[in-house]
Amino acid sequence: MTKFLSLLSLLALLGAIAHPAYAGDRPEVVWPERQIMFWAEPATGAVHVVGLRAGVSEYGVLRAPQRRDVLRLAFDQRSRRLTVESSDGDYVYDAWSLKLIARQPTALAAERFRYPRP
């Protein structure tokens, strides 16, 4: 019975976090197997990693010096990779270790770096 109530309260918490009235327009994805949620601050480029298993605890914040914003988050459960889409490129992280695996600049970002502003 206690496990059922814990699961029920976790689902209610996830529903409240994911509800648009609470989450606003921030990108977020959930890794249900590990009970981890990734949510982004669109204006700063920071991605927060939050564990939901035994209460709410922040595991870390993913930052990249070049990333100024976050447009979208995507999570692939098979490869355990989190992709952070930004206006300057895509950042691929290993969701298990939270380490940056790859950075793929977008065409717009490459054009911006090729012709710097005066």
Tell me how many degrees the CA angle 102-108-112 measures, rounded to the nearest 5.
Answer: 100
102 sits in which H/E element: strand 99-105
In the predicted model, what is the mean pLDDT of residues 79-100?
93
Q: What CATH number is given for 2-114 in this structure? A: 2.130.10.10
pLDDT digits (tens, 9 = 90+) for 14-61: 554 444 334 568 899 999 999 999 999 999 999 999 998 888 888 999
